[in-house]
Copies of this chain bind each other. A is one copy, B any other.
């Protein structure tokens, strides 16, 4: 999907403080890059890797980041999850199957709301994700204050790593957007008045009468009402009505002159 405004810098200065994303033992560079891209899509810029299995630096990660190089450039690598989270106040760990760890289990939206409140209060927050195949170990999960689980198809719940990052990051962005009402483009062309709609209907019905379209009086009444209902609920604009009147006029007149006749 195209749509980036390259003129604006995506840095933290503009987006404000935000959680760090910590990937534990990622196996594929593509996923690290795709996670970086997803992070920047939703205003997260601080990425930390815990002993990456994919090797680092990684060309596939750079390719998959699709321009989110700022995130990769700032990225830091740590040996263990404890080291990678040592400076944080609050840690959310994303897992498909919350085990019996006596931790609160929340949705991405709930985590995002809580993270917004914590960050607003000056806390440093982290979002921890496990390795592609194995997820998070119990030693990693125990570091978390809460577990995040994405509601998904129970028969096929295994999310790609970068897509799990995306869903949590998108929830973070949305939680900050909550005050803003959803954008809705409205048609800026002036709507047709009732009189203009009536004029269109009368014009059409007169031309249909001229070709004996309705045949019977009761059909004329019901079909006219059906046409009127259509026009009323179509949300027609002034230009729409003008175009339709031209269509009716030319179809009827052009037709009368015979196909292909000069006009």
Contacts and interface: CB of A to CB of B under 8 A. Distances in A.
Interface of A: 1-6, 8-10, 14-15, 34, 37-38, 40-43, 66-68, 94-98, 100-107, 110, 129-130, 132-135, 147, 149-164, 166-167, 170, 173-174, 177, 180, 182-185, 187-189, 204, 207-208, 210-213, 223, 226-227, 230, 233-237, 239-240, 243-244, 246-248, 250-260, 263
Given A104-B185, A182-B110, A2 B155 contact: no
A148 to B, nearest CB: 11
A154 B5 contact: yes
Contacts of A263: 211-212
A160 B34 CA distance: 8
Given A8-B154, A14-B155, A153-B173, A243 B226 contact: yes
A2 to B, nearest CB: 5
Question: What are the 5 tightest A-B residue pairs by CB atom distance, in nearest-first order?
Answer: A255-B255, A211-B254, A3-B96, A234-B234, A10-B155
Main secondary structure of the interface of A (DSSP, over half): loop
A173 B154 CA distance: 11
Contacts of A173: 151-153
Contact of A213 (B135, B223, B237, B246): B246
A157 B133 CA distance: 29
Give this chain's copy count.
2
A66 B28 CA distance: 14
A5 B155 CA distance: 5
Given A4-B156, A153-B15, A183-B149, A258 B256 contact: yes
Contacts of A103: 185
11 contacts: A1-B130, A98-B185, A100-B185, A149-B183, A151-B173, A151-B174, A167-B170, A207-B251, A207-B255, A210-B254, A234-B234
Contacts of A107: 182
A230 B226 contact: no
